[in-house]
Structure 1
């Protein structure tokens, strides 16, 4: 299982419009869970925003990927400094599973935590990627955001968000079917 969950492990299409990506993280599960539901901790690796841990609760995530690095990396042309997305909690089972809506086209993201000794396997499953461009952006995005989380939890260095995202988008373009 660990070969599918290292920092360099790529996400894979488990269905035509579903990306699954895994990371093995230092536990316990409650620690990783806090990085999913606590807005201040989530802001450090993914997006800011309050998330009431209750099925049906509405939320708004705010991405400011430039703030993930100090100093910030160079943002690709055409991408905004900030991105906002409204969503809803679909399912919650602390500290094992969180499922949220993603965007306005019916997509969802599931975060599943599975203890593996003193580590935790985090599986992110992003469903209903509407087109190839979305698939490439999301694949590179999840990969880099999870790299940021790994770096936060382990203290290991990583490449800047935007340079890594651009590199990974090209790599996913070669890896994922057209």
Structure 2
């Protein structure tokens, strides 16, 4: 896999502080739902952490992006080997929709739409507070979703940090200042 992504894989700003990014994944929807909600599967592409799927329940996400690929990667300055974030479940429609809070006051929704043997995963990240966050979050979701696709297709993912650095530069050129 190359670090250069296709244009249709890129997230789009659907409002000034709202990012939308999609991927079509191998189904069924129950399998994709498990990768979103089960900590052991989610840690393979995003972040570890158990979550109780009840509105109002709190949980912690634990990122260890260095561990998302067996290929070594160069972590950018300012990032540690582990990041933690407290979140809260806001909405759950099992197998279809999950919404939770993000530590900066933003929120993330995940929607699953079956498309034959595949499933469209739509992520909408709302209330992104500033340009720097928009660029980092856009590159982050993009890189994490590329890893999810690789994971679900049983192939090696590109190194997270190398992809993130390149994608952040590409998003900076794509999204107006």
Regarding TM over 0.5, the answer is yes
Distance 1:86 1:159 in 2: 27
Distance 2:8 2:62 in 1: 26
Within 5 Å, which residues of 2 pair with 1:4-19? 9-19=9-19
Please give the root-mean-square deviation of Cα atoms over the aligned residues, in Å: 1.3
The TM-score, its normalising length taken from structure 1, stands at 0.93
Question: How far does residue 159 in structure 1 lie from its aligned partner after superposition?
Answer: 2.1
Partner of 1:40: 40
SS in 1 for 2:54: coil
**Corresponding pairs, count:** 172
- The gaps in structure 2 that reach 5 residues or longer are 1-5
Distance 2:92 2:170 in 1: 33
- Deviation string 1:47-81 (CA, Å, 9 cap, x unpaired) is 00011011111000000100111143111112111
State which drifts further: 59-68 or 71-80. 71-80
- The gaps in structure 1 that reach 5 residues or longer are 1-5
Report if the CA contact (8 A) 1:113-1:120 is conserved. yes
Report if the CA contact (8 A) 1:7-1:23 is conserved. no
The TM-score, its normalising length taken from structure 2, stands at 0.93
Distance 2:138 2:174 in 1: 11
Task: Quickly say closer, same or farther: Cα 1:108–1:120, change in 2 above 3 A.
Answer: same
